Each structure stands twice: as C-alpha cells, then as structure tokens.
Amino acid sequence: MYTIYHNPRCRKSREALTYLEESGINYDIVLYLKDPLSKAALKEILKKTGLTASQLVRKNEAEWKSQPNRDEMSEDEIIEVWIRHPKTLERPIVTTAQSGVLARPLENLITFLNAN
C-alpha cells in the first residue's frame, strides 16, 4: 500500500496522484495542509525518503523566507516550521511501509514504483 502526501492545488501533486490512479495502484491520500502532520510523522517521512529536512523545504514559500536564520536551522527546527506552515513541505511525497520518494519530477515516482 502506498501513501501520497497530497496538495490538491499543486500541479505536480495532481500529476503524481493521476499517475497512481492510472497505474491501478492502491493508495491512501494524506491532505497534510488540511490535517497537519505530527513531528513523528514528519521524522518518519525523512527516514523513509532518506532526504534531509533542508532537501524537503519549499524554499520559495513566503513562510520559509520569513524564517530568521533559515539557512542554519537544525532538522528539528525545520520540522517545527513544517508543523506551523505545512505548505513549506515539498510535495508530493509517496511512501510505503519501508521507503518513500519525493515524487517530483514524476520520473522519481515511476522509478520508485518500479523498484517496489
């Protein structure tokens, strides 16, 4: 089973969701802007994707740019920003029980699905 952390207003997120649907893959949708993720859930996403917190930040978002010392933040500090401003989390992210991927570009998702 796959989980997609989805923002319906994001074109890349919609593309990933469409790909999952058209591929006949079973998945759950997490609308993380509506129901913000916990610190534990965000840490689990980092663990599954193997990415650092700074690699999953949407650096052009105003909420991120307004953070003082944003270039020097620890992983926990970045996670706290995501909790307060969930739209600063890069998207879409697709996970399984063991692994995950930043599904942007779509080719990342295709490679991930082929490997699982």
Per the prediction, the chain carries an average pLDDT of: 96
- Supply the pTM of this predicted model: 0.94
Return the active site residues: 10
Is residue 52 packed enough to be buried (19+ CB in 10 Å), middle (13-18) or exposed (0-12)? exposed
Question: What range does the domain containing 46 cover?
Answer: 2-115
Give residue 103's pLDDT: 97
Residue count of the chain, please give it. Answer: 116
3-class DSSP assignment, residue 89 = strand
For 14-24, the pLDDT digits (tens) are 999 999 999 99
What CATH number is given to the structural domain containing 29? Answer: 3.40.30.10
pLDDT at 116: 87
pLDDT score at 51:
97
Give the helix/strand (H/E) hosting 107.
Answer: helix 106-115
- Residue position matching structure tokens 């790909």: 19
If DSSP codes are grouped into helix, strand and coil, which group holds residue 59? coil
pLDDT along the chain (116 residues), means of 10: 95 96 96 94 97 96 93 95 96 97 96 94
Contact between residue 63 and residue 18 where contact means Cβ atoms under 8 Å apart: no
Number of separate domains in the chain: 1
Q: Encoding tokens for residue 5? A: 């952390």
Amino acid, single-letter form, for residue 77: E
